[in-house]
Structure 1
Amino acid sequence: MSVIKKDIKLIEKHLREGDESAFKDLFQMYYDRLFGYINGYTNDSTITKDIVQDTFIKLWSNKENLVEGKSVVGLLYKIAHNIFIDNYRRDMQESKMLDDLAYRKVLQLSDNNEDVKEARIEQIMLAIENLPPRCKEIFTMSKIQGIKYAEIAETLSISIKTVEVQMGKAFSIIRNQVKKSSVFMLFINFFIGKK
């Protein structure tokens, strides 16, 4: 058995017993490796630092549940990955909620002004027309024809995840095109005037 394997087994044993110095040793040995692993997903050092820190905190908080014979290092990576996935899902949900709120606010504020409403619809339709073909097809099926993601996936012989990714891409492209347009400035001026 190598020195490193022997050391990690000893660290794991002491960690299960609640030894803080074993935890510090584990932290020093695996912080950089875990940082590199998670940063490969996030490409954002600030987010990565938070996830790695949360990972070590969660491991320490649950040290009494560590099972002898199960790799603490493997658990460390699993915890980090799960935290990343949870954060990603939360961020996607928050983004969707903000998009929905912004969309409803735009509708509410522009409902009383037909010129703004028509310009907005025209700009959005133009943005939809300029979507990449597959993205446009999926967006049209979902938002214009009202077909559920599962049905779109089945009809096009693709995964639901692909439908979700294409819908996210469509919303991003549409949002960016509308923001770059003079219509967006018209909306801003209109909204500021409403305050």
Structure 2
Amino acid sequence: MKKQFLSQKKLIRSLRKGNTHAYTYLVELYYEKLCDYATNLARDDFKSEDIVQNVIVRMWQQREKLKADISIKNYLYKSVYNEFVDQYRKEIAITALEKKYIEGLDFVTMVKDEDETKRIMHFINKEIEQLPNKCRETFLLSKKEGLTYIEIAEFQNVSVNTVEKQMVKAFSILRKRMKEKMISLMFLLFRMKKINP
């Protein structure tokens, strides 16, 4: 089996046709090497395996787009690097969200009046209701229902990238309409709802 895939062009052609033997050969040839490379980038074995698995699965899903003249090795290593960078950026975004949550905790301790809390919650809900339909649905599935971006993508039958764009759009609109402290409080209130449904 291995001999028939020694030629780069034959390997790519077989992958594009959906040949599972070619895919198995590719995984056996590069998986561990890519994991070592990803570990050097991420300094985390579990994260490294996630990165490599994402790259290999995505490559298989998009196999028909593989160009006949590419170096499959370079393609995989570059994809691992790009996946690492994407995950790193998302971690920074999550850290920023956690900061908002902490700011929300500080703010909510100042709002001790129950009527005031209800008034603020009404204001937040009103602003969310004014979001464009798909944007609002995506935002509520994430923040109110606690679904992951992958779960939302499957539910809406769209790509994860589309979900991310809708969330960025929602936050952008809300940030323009609401004060920073309100945004912080919104993160907190939605998080509390997940913990205490």
Moved over 4 A (4+): none
Q: Which amino acid aligns with 2:16?
A: R
Tell me what 1:56 maps to: 56
CA distances 1:121-170 after superposition (whole Å, capped 9, x unpaired): xxxxxxxxxxxxxxxxxxxxxxxxxxxxxxxxxxxxxxxxxxxxxxxxxx
Q: Which amino acid aligns with 1:60?
A: W
Residues of 1 paired with 2:47 and 2:110: CA distance? 37
Q: TM-score, normalised by structure 1?
A: 0.51
How many residues are aligned here?
110
Tell me what 1:15 maps to: 15
The correspondence of residues 94-109 of structure 1 with structure 2, limited to 5 A, is: 94-109=94-109
Tell me what 1:159 maps to: none
Residues of 2 paired with 1:64 and 1:10: CA distance? 14
Q: Which amino acid aligns with 1:19?
A: N
Between the two proteins, what is the percent identity of the paired residues?
A: 25
Q: Does structure 2 conserve the Cα–Cα contact (< 8 Å) formed by 1:38 and 1:81?
A: yes
Structure whose CA Rg is larger: 1
Residues of 1 paired with 2:13 and 2:74: CA distance? 15
Tell me what 1:92 maps to: 92
Q: Does structure 2 conserve the Cα–Cα contact (< 8 Å) formed by 1:52 and 1:80?
A: yes
Relative contact order, higher structure (CA 8 A, sep 6+): 2
Residues of 1 paired with 2:11 and 2:68: CA distance? 12
Structure 1, unmatched stretches of 5+, are: 113-195
Residues of 2 paired with 1:108 and 1:68: CA distance? 58
Query: Structure 1 76/29 Cα, relative in aligned 2: closer, same or farther at 3 Å?
Result: same
Q: Please give the secondary structure, in 2, of the residue aligned with 1:96.
A: helix
Residues of 2 paired with 1:7 and 1:110: CA distance? 68
Q: Does structure 2 conserve the Cα–Cα contact (< 8 Å) formed by 1:39 and 1:48?
A: yes
Q: Does structure 1 conserve the Cα–Cα contact (< 8 Å) formed by 2:18 and 2:63?
A: yes
User: Does residue 75 in structure 1 map to residue 75 in structure 2?
Assistant: yes
- The offset of 1:8, in angstroms, is 4.1
Q: Please give the secondary structure, in 1, of the residue aligned with 2:100.
A: helix
- The offset of 1:9, in angstroms, is 4.2
Q: Which amino acid aligns with 1:45?
A: D
For the aligned residues, what is the CA RMSD?
A: 2.3
Q: Which amino acid aligns with 2:38?
A: I
Residues of 1 paired with 2:7 and 2:110: CA distance? 66
Q: Which amino acid aligns with 2:15?
A: L
- The offset of 1:6, in angstroms, is 3.8
Q: Which amino acid aligns with 1:58?
A: R
Q: Does structure 2 conserve the Cα–Cα contact (< 8 Å) formed by 1:11 and 1:25?
A: no
